[in-house]
Structure 1
Amino acid sequence: MSKREELLTAQNQQVKQPLVVWVIFAATIISFMGLGLVDPILPAIAEKLHASPSQVSLLFSSYNLITGVAMLITGVVSSRIGIKWTLLTGILFTICFSALAGSSHGIWQIVGFRGGWGLGNSLFIATALSAIVGLALGGTAKAIILYEAAIGLGISVGPLLGGELGSISWRGPFYGVSVLMVVAFLALLLKMPQVEKPKVKSSILDPIKALKYPGLLRLGLTAFLYNIGFFTLMAFAPFVMHLDEHGLGYVFLGWGLCLAITSVFAAPKLQAKFGTIKSMCMMLILFALTLLSMGIWTNSSSIVIICVIVAGLFLGTNNTLITTAVMQVAPVERATASAAYSFVRFIGGAIGPWLANKLAETYNPHVPFITGAGFVFLAMIVVALGRKHIQHVDKISGH
């Protein structure tokens, strides 16, 4: 078979997936809208509720912290009630807590309800990844590209919708998430069949034990560090771009589209040409340089806006590369590997938003971006120095 025929076969497999895969794909898009939907309204929430940027950043921190910690129980839940009902339970939590956040009257109420939202998010995203990988045709790599595409589409459309709803009221995006997740709930309830439960029940300690594998621990630590930079951009950049809700929505739409496109098209090509490890190192260096540029030219709204959009190119590529590696790096169940990795990386996602805004309040707006760049550069060092623990991933992919 020629390379062209192989490519066409792979593309056909990408499109001709079982209906259940597309249902999960659509629900994942809606789920990840919730992340970007909040971005355009961060300054508005700070103004309306008389909160400091570091207090508003806790909307990300509580969400990511609970998401990360709850990853330890996702396997326990899904192995007992099944993938379908774990997904539906996660969505129900999101519906309830996003609506409660929209009904809040103080910043600390929203922070608390975002934590509950994070619990629902953890049940959904870890299970959705393992479900798509398990049910999709074309192998693990193709399934992960589908999953990352859904994330990218959700993150890109979310800010646009958030900007439109947020221009009406800062409460709008929270209610919007709740309504969209009702749609996702009904789609999964009606269209997704019961998936056979695992024969072996998972333990809460399984993800922790999985981290004994150096490769998985190394990738988790890498994600921990670069997520500090990732959420520095997400949670602090809106405060220095000096745009209204509409403007922020369009900027993060551009960022999300770059993330979605590169996660699907650039990552596989780079992986095939250079291998996973070299490609990850390249993307992390480029992202670190982008954050550094934002730190140097923080006072230029135009440069910050361009850098935010360009950062999506590197983040989308790296997300697919590292998620693919996680699924292959350790001899454990995919759901366990995903939970272990996500537990570590979401802790970084909890630290990043608060740290960035606190540094800005203590020093100046340049410091968060420069610090974030330092953490991302450290992530690259972790990958490069741990090459021997993860190089077998490239052998699996045939590079």
Structure 2
Amino acid sequence: MTAPKTGAPSPFRQPKAVWAVAFACVISFMGIGLVDPILPAISSDLRASPSQVTLLFTSYLVVMAVAMLVTGWVSSRIGAKRTLIAGLVLIVVFSALAGSSDSIGGIIGFRAGWGLGNALFVATSLAVIVAAASGGFSGAIILYEAALGLGIAIGPLLGGALGGISWRGPFYGVAALMSIALLATILLVRPQPRPARRTSLLDPIRALRHRGLLIMSLTALCYNWGFFTVLGYAPFPMGLDAIHLGLVFTGWGLMVAIFSVAGAPWLQRRLGLARTLYGNLTLFSLTVFVIAAFVDQRVVLIVAVIVAGVFIGVNNTLTTQAVMMVAPVDRPVASAAYGFVRFIGGGLAPFAAGKLAERFNVHVPFVVGACAILVGVGILALGHRDLARAERNQAAVDEHARLGTRDAELAEATEAGTGTST
């Protein structure tokens, strides 16, 4: 009889298909921070106000949020691999079109199409990685968040480098890299069995009736309001060129990546899920208050933005794990419902920040963002019991994976934890 495996499996020992999807995730998430270094350049060249330029975030994220509601419906009918491919094709096409546009309205519209492709890809990619990855559930989430953090880190660097030549360069760069990711997905990702039951268009909305998922989603909406206020509006008061903005947000993205992979698990082991999230969100809010107070002091602003990446990285990993463990619905449905709510907050925040700065002053958007994060802490406290249950479920599933338990038994452990079939 073979002895069970007792060593903790590495999240980075994965099948080729998982690496193909992870690579595509890196490029996909590059699209979030890619435009940061070129926002002032676009504003200047196309004679657009900062609030108009922030619509590049709003159109992308709001369309992405709404489209999350249909991702499960699509993938349950055409399969996960075809959904990934459809999303990647849309990203390639619309990023290239955005680079070819000569008007701010055109770029905003093409970014909306890009957001549609990203919704199909992002919601499905998480489910594919969780299903195909070795090393347990936590390992799959860490790998996914590592891809997110790496993409966010590289995006501003590439945006700054190419944006120093032309603001069109970053858009064409994403189109080229996503074409490579599309080819890798076609060649390396195997078609997965379709679910026994097709997902309804209303399933993600119905899923939000579950208390734990709703609380986590509303918390994420508030947190993302602060997150995308910093990401979408902080480049304007910095007064830097594209290359230096790229370097600043690359430092920020590296903090996101490091603390997604290493910091979040370490803190959770020592403090527990609930205390880590409460403390992390509170510190993030304080950091945004510092940005609000010293937004006209360039050095303080740059340091505070980079430090904010620490708290964003921790929150991304732990909140995603909690959502997947607390939701008593299929993981793709949970991902779609959660993505819909949180990206609504992320999409509206940059545009609201631009309008608040125009109406009042540059300090106000960050004060509002910091207060939104604190509201999220209060909402999260309402779900304290749900956080405890999520942590127990996660520990049980990871223990099964550590011992080399078969997939069927692992699924059974998950079902026992959530009280429903997944």
TM-score norm. by structure 1 comes to 0.96
Q: Which runs of 5+ in 1 are unaligned?
A: none
- 2:182 counterpart residue number: 185
Q: Deviations over 1:229-251 (max 9, x none)?
A: 01100111000111100000000
Q: Which of 337, 340, 343 pairs up with 2:334?
A: 337
> Which amino acid in 2 is paired with 1:118?
G
| Secondary structure at 2:328 match in 1 | coil
Q: Deviations over 1:78-110 (max 9, x none)?
A: 111111110010010001111111111111111
Match of 1:98 among 83, 88, 95: 95
Match of 1:306 in 2: 303
Report Cα offsets for 1:45-66 as digits up to 9, x if no partner: 0000000000000000010100
Aligned twin of 1:114: 111
Match of 1:62 in 2: 59
Aligned residue among 349, 353, 366 for 1:352: 349
Tell me the alpha carbon deviations over residues 309-350 of structure 1, each in whole angstroms, 9 at most, x when there is no partner: 100000000000000001000211110100000000010011
- Is 1:227 matched up with 2:197? no
What's the counterpart of residue 395 of structure 1? 392
Say yes or no: does 1:36 pair with 2:40. no
* 2:267 maps to 1:270: yes
Q: Distance in 2 between matches of 1:162 and 1:290?
A: 25
1:118-267 to structure 2, matched below 5 A, reads: 118-267=115-264
Distance across 1 between alignment mates of 2:307 and 2:158:
21
- The answer to whether 1:297 aligns with 2:314 is no
1:384 to 2:386 alignment = no
Q: Match of 1:14, SS?
A: coil
Tell me if 1:74 matches 2:71.
Answer: yes
Contact 2:325 2:394 in 1 (8 A): no
- Residue 324 of structure 2 corresponds to which residue in structure 1? 327
Measure how far apart 1:389 and its partner are: 3.4
Paired residue total? 392
Matched residue SS, 2:10: helix
- The answer on whether the counterparts of 2:12 and 2:143 sit within 8 Å (CA) in structure 1 is no
Q: Which of 74, 83, 88 pairs up with 1:86?
A: 83
Q: Distance in 2 between matches of 1:202 and 1:386?
A: 27
Q: CA deviation at 1:397?
A: 3.5
State the Cα distance separating 1:394 from its structure 2 match.
2.1
TM-score normalised over the length of structure 2:
0.91
148-157 or 28-37: bigger deviation: 28-37
Separation in 2, partners of 1:229, 1:144? 23
Distance between the aligned counterparts of 1:38 and 1:89, measured in 2? Answer: 23
Moved over 6 A (4+): none
Distance 1:390 1:122 in 2: 26
d(CA) in 1 for partners of 2:213, 2:109: 31
Letter in 2 for 1:220: S
Partner of 1:22: 19
Aligned CA-pair RMSD = 1.2
Deviations 1:362-391 (A, max 9, x none): 111111111100001111111113213332
Letter in 2 for 1:241: M
**Once structures 1 and 2 are overlaid, which stretch shifts more, 216-225 or 387-396?**
387-396
Q: Which stretch shows the higher mean deviation, 55-64 or 383-392?
A: 383-392
Please name the residue that 1:286 is paired with.
Answer: 283
How much does 1:398 deviate?
Answer: 4.1
Deviation per residue, 1:274-302 (Å, 9 max, x gap): 22111111111111001000000111010
Q: CA deviation at 1:117?
A: 0.4
Distance in 1 (CA, whole Å) between partners of 2:144 and 2:171 is: 24
